[in-house]
Structure 1
């Protein structure tokens, strides 16, 4: 009788193990930096969707995601009403839809970083012109931040 119980327990454990493997790829902990330096709103929205899909697959608790924006990439968080005051930008894409996507990602732990060189060179007022950004979100150089994070073991993605 004990042998039958042992076999049944082992069968249940094996079944549960395979069931968990089928539903959970178990990617483990990941550190990822997403690079945005383009002003195309459709492409930026697609990048945010990729980030959400990444979170859905791996789990927010298993991810450290940073989004580094520089150059034209700042248009992703540039408020539409700021465009007339920031003539060095062609687009201002932080409309309600984009802002909601960004908010949702931030609530899941995604960090958005802004290049101080772009802010200075394009005369951007962080608090006034950028959606939900502050001085604490700036990095001295977007490209230097990308290299630094890659040196810290972050995987680089540019969707």
Structure 2
């Protein structure tokens, strides 16, 4: 009986395939780790270009933009030069998510001596690096502008 259950568990796991947050034809992870408005803008351009391209092909793409280290400033409410654009994109694209590194946020808050407010579109993940690894393990393509 144990062998049969073990075999069933393996077969079920193999049929499940990659676990992705959304059903889409393609999956893209974009990485921001620089506090440079040009890099941030390029990352957001990459997001929009990928979504637009696949839409023109009649296909969908799930995109997650992950920021950590100095790149976290893309999500810091009172620092980001991209706030309006991120808000607009968050409303426009339901297949787009923004992930903010919890490790970086904790370090920034400790250094500032108070909580750091992020844009409402950003979801805090425990580790930006680990999140990028998880996404790649789930079949996401990886881009660093």
Who is 2:71 aligned against?
A: 73
Q: Where does the alignment leave 5 or more consecutive residues of structure 2 unmatched? A: 1-23
Who is 1:44 aligned against?
A: 40
**Residues of 1 paired with 2:67 and 2:128: CA distance?**
6
Q: Where does the alignment leave 5 or more consecutive residues of structure 1 unmatched? A: 1-27, 81-91
Aligned counterpart in structure 1 of residue 88 of structure 2, from 98, 104, 115 = 104
1:61 Cα offset (Å): 6.4
Residue 64 of structure 2 contacts residue 99 of structure 2 at CA under 8 Å; is this kept in 1?
Answer: yes
Tell me how large the CA RMSD over aligned residues is: 2.0
TM-score when normalising by structure 1 = 0.65
1:133 Cα offset (Å): 4.6
3-state secondary structure, aligned to 1:66:
strand
**Residues of 2 paired with 1:61 and 1:79: CA distance?**
33
Aligned counterpart in structure 1 of residue 25 of structure 2, from 29, 41, 64 = 29
Aligned counterpart in structure 2 of residue 143 of structure 1, from 129, 136, 140 = 129
Distance change in 2, residues 1:146/1:121 (3 Å): same
- Stretches of 4+ moved more than 2 A in 1? none
Deviations 1:120-145 (A, max 9, x none): 1111635xx222256xx111110011
**Residues of 2 paired with 1:133 and 1:72: CA distance?**
18
Who is 1:125 aligned against?
A: 115
Q: How many matched pairs?
A: 114
1:55 corresponds to 2:51: yes
TM-score when normalising by structure 2 = 0.71
3-state secondary structure, aligned to 2:27:
strand
**Residues of 1 paired with 2:34 and 2:61: CA distance?**
24
1:54 Cα offset (Å): 1.0
3-state secondary structure, aligned to 1:101:
helix
Who is 1:154 aligned against?
A: 140
